[in-house]
Amino acid sequence: MDVRILLVDDHPVVREGYRRLLERQSRYRVVAEAADAGEAYRLYQVHAPDLVVMDVALPGASGIEAARHIRQRDRDARILMVSMRGHAALALTAFEAGASGYVTKGSPPRELLTAVETVMRGGRAMSTDIAHALADAHIADGRSAVEGLGPREIEILTLTARGLTVGAIADALCVSPKTVQNNQSLIKARLSARTDAHLVWIAVGAGLVSAADG
């Protein structure tokens, strides 16, 4: 079954490059293209794509704002952000807005395709340079933070950071979904994490997950 993709970038040449790269894969089909956040939201409503590949820097409202808007309409939307900038803080903001992946434009084309595959499997994806930036920013704090967690909490943190749902984690660990949710709440409290995206940041810094996970 085809993966239907909406491309969002204000440069037509860049969109054409993405289209050619993606459509070389037999499963991927670009169904629409947008040049700004407003058009992206409108075309998402019209086409209901399986995946949005969107630049962070757009004229007017940013790609991050567009991602937040789309996710408010559809909590299951899969959005892969692409950016010229590899700043850890910007990547975290994108994840907190609802993005499922973040890849820099300087990454090899294979990393973009791998990120698309990971996001379509329901995981979270990062290009290698973003994973390194997150690790460099938080490796010391991340390691010290997770030292206070028990083995089961470490397992749940790792699976959460890989993008698994509560149900999938419960199945993997042979526990109830309620147990997973209770543990996730305790982990957030112990790590002072505001969101699941913040947990990803900590898990990467602690070495529990990498760009290849998810």
Domain 132-205 classification at class level: mainly alpha
State which fold the 3-126 domain adopts.
Answer: Rossmann fold (3.40.50)
Could you give the CA distance from residue 102 to residue 122 in angstroms, rounded to a whole number? Answer: 14
Domain ranges of the chain: 3-126, 132-205
pTM here? 0.68
pLDDT at 93: 79
Kind of pairing between the strands at 28-34 and 101-104: unpaired
Report the chain (214 residues): mean pLDDT per 10 consecutive residues: 94 95 94 95 96 92 89 94 82 86 92 94 88 65 64 84 86 89 89 79 72 49
Spell out where the chain has E strands.
Answer: 3-8, 28-34, 51-55, 79-83, 101-104, 125-126
What whole-number distance in Å separates Cα of residue 162 and Cα of residue 156? 10
CB–CB of 99/79 below 8 Å?
Answer: yes
